[in-house]
Amino acid sequence: MTTPHGSFQTPAFMPVGTKGTVKGITPELVRRTGAEILLNNTYHLLLRPGPELVQKMGGVHSFMNWPRPILTDSGGYQAYSLSELNRVDDDGVTFKSIVDGSEVRLTPERAIAVQNMLGPDIMMAFDDCPPSIDPNAQAPNQPRLASAARRDSVRGVAGGGRPKTYDHVARLDLANERTVRWLERCIRAHERKDVQALFGIVQGGTDLDRRRWSAERICALDCPGFAIGGVAVGESPEDIAKIVRFTAPLLPDHKPRYLMGVGYERDILEAVRSGVDMFDCVLPTRNGRNANAFTASGQIRLRNAQFADDPRPIEPGCDCEACAGASEVRVGHFSRSYLRHLFMADEMLGPILVTLHNLRHFQRFMADLRSTIVSDEWAGFRARWPVAYTPVSDGQAPVAI
Amino acid sequence: MTTPHGSFQTPAFMPVGTKGTVKGITPELVRRTGAEILLNNTYHLLLRPGPELVQKMGGVHSFMNWPRPILTDSGGYQAYSLSELNRVDDDGVTFKSIVDGSEVRLTPERAIAVQNMLGPDIMMAFDDCPPSIDPNAQAPNQPRLASAARRDSVRGVAGGGRPKTYDHVARLDLANERTVRWLERCIRAHERKDVQALFGIVQGGTDLDRRRWSAERICALDCPGFAIGGVAVGESPEDIAKIVRFTAPLLPDHKPRYLMGVGYERDILEAVRSGVDMFDCVLPTRNGRNANAFTASGQIRLRNAQFADDPRPIEPGCDCEACAGASEVRVGHFSRSYLRHLFMADEMLGPILVTLHNLRHFQRFMADLRSTIVSDEWAGFRARWPVAYTPVSDGQAPVAI
């Protein structure tokens, strides 16, 4: 795919640089992992340092020193999921800033204006993000969106309305319709169509009929690319696969398809087989900071005592800077023993090195996917990436190799 | 100077890698700042992960992936200054581990055995580090060593003795004599003289007669290099200069001279003029993590609001990775505006980039010192480094440039 800041190959994995930085990694090192495009969160940059400042500094590319393609989300998802207070109406969302507690308003027009100021190559439509799971039918200890749903059920779902009970089905239908109307408003508000591509987002939860309805309405509008949203927000891997397998083929095949926020290797493989071109996920960076390293056969937890005197790299054969060292100062690699020491001693270099490894892991995975798409030799791919053929759950068992 | 792991030019500045890592910076990036040798703290590596493990992993060079020269201190200074509990006697020091609270014993023999296991190219003698300032004559809010002194005055200064009052002069004399006896024991205990150079340490506080006495006794012993210890532990810049100017010329001029824990550019310049060859200091790394950036005309505090929309690099003309960018992803530089954003948003990349800049600042300073020693054109040096000719105090005023 070609953008004003260069091209990237698909299927592509975009590292997440929430606040205008991939946590702990310089842009040069991000680039060296093989990443060609990365993602910034509009929500976070809106609250701090603010889109006006980023624009004054020349836009996100110049601000963060990444001259290649950048995609920003619209801020909608975080406005729903991160904020203590949010009120949704037909015009937009009001939420409390996690930075200073002030009340912030996002509408389709404002979300587009903010992204026009930030200046990414690809910007996302502002959509209505209802809870994916009915809070009335839910067990305790559910993920974050569930609490948002509970708040929603108290505060009411339609503009001004305050129903005593939460009707999940009605909420999903309303969100689906609203997301179409908001995309129309986003397209009208978009002032830099020549240099920024606005992607529409298909919603619809886990219900395939709603997905089809959303895909038909959204894809009828004039966007250079489309995304599948509302996935990987708490559903089972089977549900993710079902939604993606059903929805991806409904999107125009001559335009890029982006599956937002997904995921594990297995989810990505499944989605690529369904025709998805773009992915983003915090897994490599977030897990890296927590000492969880991805390998072709599963994650390993580097804090485990078993690695205390393990001289091997995270993954023998990996060509990342942690496993293979850097050319200028090369004495082999950073051992699991050393990495464990860094985490036990709370040293920044631990998160940095495992993040680097994990980012490279996902880029190597995507590169292999791209070449296997061409060669069509999937038996070899399966042998090289057993992790992508292993059941995945939230409590994914780490595999020591 | 040549070591089993390569040579380094002098005068040299050694970045501090306390726990086996220069905080937040990969060895490759440390190398790219121009550093040719770095320092590890024996105290920290002794407590975690332990010298046996480091030895099993091939020694500090292999453990931390730095194949160039490494110097370790003896652990003595931290045993005195960091520990809640320490008891000194003629045989050694007992202190409480800051990692797990256990009681740890260091003697000259043990300090050498630990460093023999860690395997640095240069190891330091285990010395007696008394408080530099008489706690009886002291104002409140003095630096750490003062509290150690107060404890010392309660617990007594000589083996087994528990005098009711603290005699600072007697304590200094005892430390001076003990340091000589302990160096003799260090030399006898040293088992790897062929590959590890053991440096003796001259003590004596701010009293020039004691410094002379110590220099004569210490330098009479057979060491490949000597250090000036007990400096920059709370004295005024004038006292530092006075001690160094007096002591450095007393050390053999055909062996390397190392001024421990110093310092600001001005202190280094003064010491180089006195004939000192080696320096280490936490200033570039510690201040970098706190958003304080060194420039040729003074430090700037990047959290200051004045930098919010400042598009300039930390120091125009600096060739560090933060100010000049990296070749692969070069769109100019990281702006002060972006760096401030990173610190305000608590992003790791802020400390990383400013640490990189600060490390490069000190290496550029040393490189210019080395070439000016050859050219003898000090007027030019003075014009390029005004910071080294500006009075320095603990509350050094930052200079915006």
B-chain residues within 8 Å CB-CB of A345? 19, 44, 48-49
pLDDT given at position B392? 60
Confidence category of residue B374, pLDDT binned at 50, 70, 90: very high
Residues B60 and B124 in one domain: yes
Over residues A68-86, the mean pLDDT reads 89
Total number of domains constituting chain B: 2
Q: For residue range A151-189, what is the model confidence (pLDDT) as tens digits?
A: 443 344 444 444 457 888 898 899 999 999 999 999 999
Distance CA A260, CA A282 (A): 11
Residues A176 and A257 in one domain: yes
Q: Is B13 left (phi over 0), alpha (psi -120 to 50) or beta?
A: beta
pLDDT given at position A147? 42
Is residue B153 in some structural domain? yes
- Would residue B394 show up in a list of annotated catalytic residues for this protein? no
Distance CA B112, CA B123 (A): 8
Whole-number average pLDDT of chain A: 90
Domain ranges, residue B221: 2-281
Output the domain CATH number for residue A127.
Answer: 3.20.20.105
Report how far apart, in Å, the C-alpha atoms of A191 and of each of A110, A113, A195, A360, B47 are: 12, 8, 10, 36, 60
pLDDT given at position A240? 92
Is residue A396 in some structural domain? no
Q: Can you read off the two tokens belonging to residue A278? A: 């773009």
Residues near A170 by Cβ (< 8 Å), separated by ≥ 6? Answer: A157
Q: For residue range B118-149, what is the model confidence (pLDDT) as tens digits?
A: 999 999 999 998 777 777 775 555 444 444 44
B-chain residues within 8 Å CB-CB of A31? 328-329
Q: Which residue has the tokens 């990296």?
A: B326
Residues B269 and B295 in one domain: no
Point out the residue among A64, A65, A338 whose CB comes nearest to the CB of B63. A338
Q: State the ipTM, two decimals.
A: 0.93
Confidence category of residue A138, pLDDT binned at 50, 70, 90: low
A-chain residues within 8 Å CB-CB of B28? 321, 325-326, 328-329
Is residue B395 in some structural domain? no
Residues near B336 by Cβ (< 8 Å), separated by ≥ 6? Answer: B300, B302, B307, B310, B311, B312, B313, B314
Which of A235, A265, A281 represents a domain boundary (last residue)? A281
Contact at CB, B25 and A353, closer than 8 angstroms: no
Residues A69 and A38 in one domain: yes
pLDDT given at position B160? 41
Strand (E) or helix (H) holding A77: helix A76-81
Range of weakest confidence among A266-275, A319-328, A382-391: A319-328
Mutate to test the interface with A, among B23, B56, B340, B347 (most CBs of A within 10 A): B347
Is residue A400 in some structural domain? no
Mutate to test the interface with A, among B41, B55, B57, B68 (most CBs of A within 10 A): B57
Cα of A340 to nearest chain B Cα, Å: 9
The residue with greater pLDDT, B267 or A395, is: B267
Report how far apart, in Å, the C-alpha atoms of A27 and of each of A3, A34, A49, A354 are: 18, 11, 19, 16
Point out the residue among A25, A57, A337 whose CB comes nearest to the CB of B335. A57
Q: Which of A127, A277, A280, A310 is catalytic?
A: A280
Across-strand partners of B95? B86, B104
CB pairs below 8 Å between A and B: how many?
A: 150
Residues A328 and A275 in one domain: no
Q: Is the pLDDT of residue A65 over 90?
A: yes
Is residue B106 in some structural domain? yes
Nearest Cα to A235, choosing from A211, A274, A205, A202? A205
Range of weakest confidence among A38-52, A79-93, A253-267: A79-93
Contact at CB, B23 and A347, closer than 8 angstroms: yes
User: How buried is residue B128: exposed, middle or buried, by Cβ count under 10 Å (0-12/13-18/19+)?
Assistant: buried
Mutate to test the interface with A, among B330, B335, B338, B343 (most CBs of A within 10 A): B338
Q: Which of A73, A152, A267, A277 is catalytic?
A: A73
Q: Which of B73, B121, B127, B267 is catalytic?
A: B73
Is residue A394 in some structural domain? no
Residues B246 and B310 in one domain: no
Over residues A43-57, the mean pLDDT reads 97
Nearest Cα to B393, choosing from B282, B228, B239? B239
- Would residue B152 show up in a list of annotated catalytic residues for this protein? no
Q: For residue range B13-43, what is the model confidence (pLDDT) as tens digits?
A: 999 999 999 999 999 999 999 999 999 999 9
Q: Is the pLDDT of residue A233 over 90?
A: no
Residue of A nearest to B325 (CA): A65
User: Residues of chain B with pLDDT > 90: what percent?
Assistant: 80
pLDDT given at position B235? 85
Strand (E) or helix (H) holding A103: strand A103-106
The residue with greater pLDDT, A318 or B401, is: A318
Q: Are B12 and B277 in contact (CB under 8 A)?
A: yes
DSSP calls for A24-56 = T--HHHHHHTT---EEE-HHHHHHTT-HHHHHH
Confidence category of residue A267, pLDDT binned at 50, 70, 90: very high
For the whole model, what pTM was predicted? 0.92
Nearest Cα to B66, choosing from B31, B34, B16, B15? B31
Provide the angle, in degrees to the nearest 10, between the axes of the packed helices A349-375 and A336-344: 130
Which of B281, B312, B330 represents a domain boundary (last residue)? B281
pLDDT given at position B161? 43
User: What is the phi/psi pair of residue B33, to 5°?
Assistant: -75, -10
pLDDT given at position A393? 52
pLDDT given at position B396? 52
Residues B367 and B269 in one domain: no
Cα of B161 to nearest chain A Cα, Å: 37
Neighbour-count burial for B60-95, b at 16+ CB within 10 Å, e otherwise: bbbbbbbbbbbbbbbbbbbbbbbbeebbbeeebbbb
Residues B183 and B307 in one domain: no
Contact at CB, A65 and B31, closer than 8 angstroms: no
Residues B200 and B296 in one domain: no
Which of B227, B252, B281 represents a domain boundary (last residue)? B281
Contact at CB, A329 and B57, closer than 8 angstroms: no
Residues B85 and B126 in one domain: yes
pLDDT given at position A391? 75
User: Residues of chain A with pLDDT > 90: what percent?
Assistant: 79
Is residue A401 in some structural domain? no
Q: For residue range B78-117, what is the model confidence (pLDDT) as tens digits?
A: 988 887 778 999 999 999 999 999 999 999 999 999 999 9
Kindly state the greatest CA–CA separation across chain A. 66
pLDDT given at position B143? 45
Report how far apart, in Å, the C-alpha atoms of A270 and of each of A13, A108, A239, A392, A394 are: 14, 32, 12, 12, 17
DSSP calls for A235-284 = --HHHHHHHHHHHGGGS-TTS-EEETT--SHHHHHHHHHTT--EEE-SHH
Is residue A307 in some structural domain? yes
Residue of B nearest to A28 (CA): B329
Residues B243 and B138 in one domain: yes
Q: Which of B121, B280, B309, B376 is catalytic?
A: B280
Mutate to test the interface with A, among B331, B337, B352, B355 (most CBs of A within 10 A): B331
Over residues B365-383, the mean pLDDT reads 98
Q: Which residue has the tokens 């599956």?
A: A259
The residue with greater pLDDT, B157 or A277, is: A277
Residues B345 and B259 in one domain: no
Over residues B283-301, the mean pLDDT reads 97
Q: For residue range B315-373, what is the model confidence (pLDDT) as tens digits?
A: 999 999 999 975 554 557 999 999 999 999 999 999 999 999 999 999 999 999 999 99
A-chain residues within 8 Å CB-CB of B45? none
